[in-house]
Chains A and B, each alone.
Chain A
């Protein structure tokens, strides 16, 4: 169970709803992933084409919690405007803040992110914050009221997997807030690794939506998150440079 801002979710996997071929595919992938929390974007309504399908008609916000995200915002002002609008759509207070700083690598602008976190928290939002894997910045976000720390594994959509496991471990050791790996995962084993590092959850979008078989990958991520969590709780053995036989020496013929 994942608990964020006193809200419980049965799955530790959060999935994004972008990049799918259709709304139907997106809805089925969410179901197979077991995720109860999904990120959504805020965009203009298409005034001229009203027949365009609406996400809410496919993914019921009463059953699946929508996590409005500020993807595509490049400064604090845009991010604040987006999330204030998201709240107005229907009372969403749990949000994901993402303020980007570079169009090519999509790394977060942490100065703008920190500023926005502070303002939003004061306005009563529960802010889950996309950030780089810098322990000092993670601490600062916590100090201004973030409700979850979401460091990237690698650039958004890159599929590179966790690039700096050591930093993730340091962030884990210093915070009791939910720690969720966001962005850059490529396959289910990346989710296993994230969970084995002691993270509370994982967010995946591109890795599932753009897999050759999104439904199979949704299932793989679901199982990966469960396996990684169990492995973390079970506690790994010490590493050794020498071998240690599994069978007893006594009684050898």
Chain B
């Protein structure tokens, strides 16, 4: 059986090992992130949420997922 290769990425400051060739949209869905309530940055660039299906995650990618919280 072919072994799935793992890659290291960083999301919201935490390192994670994930399967290679995952799309950003699949990855965020796995994490159960409510996409309509967040904004996403990939390597410091804001990503259009409609296009995340076409983005494949690469080694050392840095993802930031933000939402609104209480503040003054």
Chain A residues within CB distance 8 Å of chain B: 16-20, 23, 26, 39-45, 47-48, 50, 54-56, 66, 68-69, 71, 84-90, 156-157, 183, 205-206
B48 partner residues in chain A, CB cutoff 8 A? 88
B64 partner residues in chain A, CB cutoff 8 A? 44, 85
**Cβ A47 vs Cβ B12 within 8 A:** yes
**Cβ B65 vs Cβ A44 within 8 A:** yes
B14-50 vs A, Cβ < 8 Å mask (1 yes, 0 no): 1000000000000000011110111111000010110
**Cβ B37 vs Cβ A54 within 8 A:** yes
Query: How far apart sit A156 and B66, CA to CA, in the bound complex (Å)?
Result: 24
**Cβ A42 vs Cβ B67 within 8 A:** yes
How close is B11's CB to chain A, nearest CB, in angstroms? 6
How close is A163's CB to chain B, nearest CB, in angstroms? 18
B71 partner residues in chain A, CB cutoff 8 A? 16-18, 39-41, 43, 69, 71
**Cβ A69 vs Cβ B46 within 8 A:** no
Query: How far apart sit A54 and B32, CA to CA, in the bound complex (Å)?
Result: 13
Q: Interface range on chain B: under 10, 10 to 19, 20 to 34, or 35 or more?
A: 20 to 34
Q: Which residue of A lies closest to B34 (CB)?
A: A54
**Cβ A55 vs Cβ B68 within 8 A:** yes
Query: How far apart sit A232 and B37, CA to CA, in the bound complex (Å)?
Result: 41
A85 partner residues in chain B, CB cutoff 8 A? 39, 41, 46, 64, 66
Contact of A16 among B11, B13, B41, B72 (CB under 8 A): B72
Query: How far apart sit A20 and B48, CA to CA, in the bound complex (Å)?
Result: 33
A18 partner residues in chain B, CB cutoff 8 A? 70-72
Residue of A23, A45, A54, A89 ringed by the most chain B CB atoms within 10 A: A45
Contact of A45 among B36, B49, B67, B70 (CB under 8 A): B67
**Cβ A43 vs Cβ B14 within 8 A:** no
**Cβ A90 vs Cβ B67 within 8 A:** no
How close is B70's CB to chain A, nearest CB, in angstroms? 4
Query: How far apart sit A54 and B67, CA to CA, in the bound complex (Å)?
Result: 9
A89 partner residues in chain B, CB cutoff 8 A? 37-39, 66-68
A56 partner residues in chain B, CB cutoff 8 A? 37, 67-68
Whether, in the assembled complex, B69 has its beta carbon less than 8 Å from a beta carbon of chain A, the answer is yes
**Cβ B72 vs Cβ A156 within 8 A:** yes
Identify the 6 closest CB pairs spanning chains A and B, nearest first: A41-B71, A16-B72, A205-B72, A88-B39, A17-B70, A40-B68
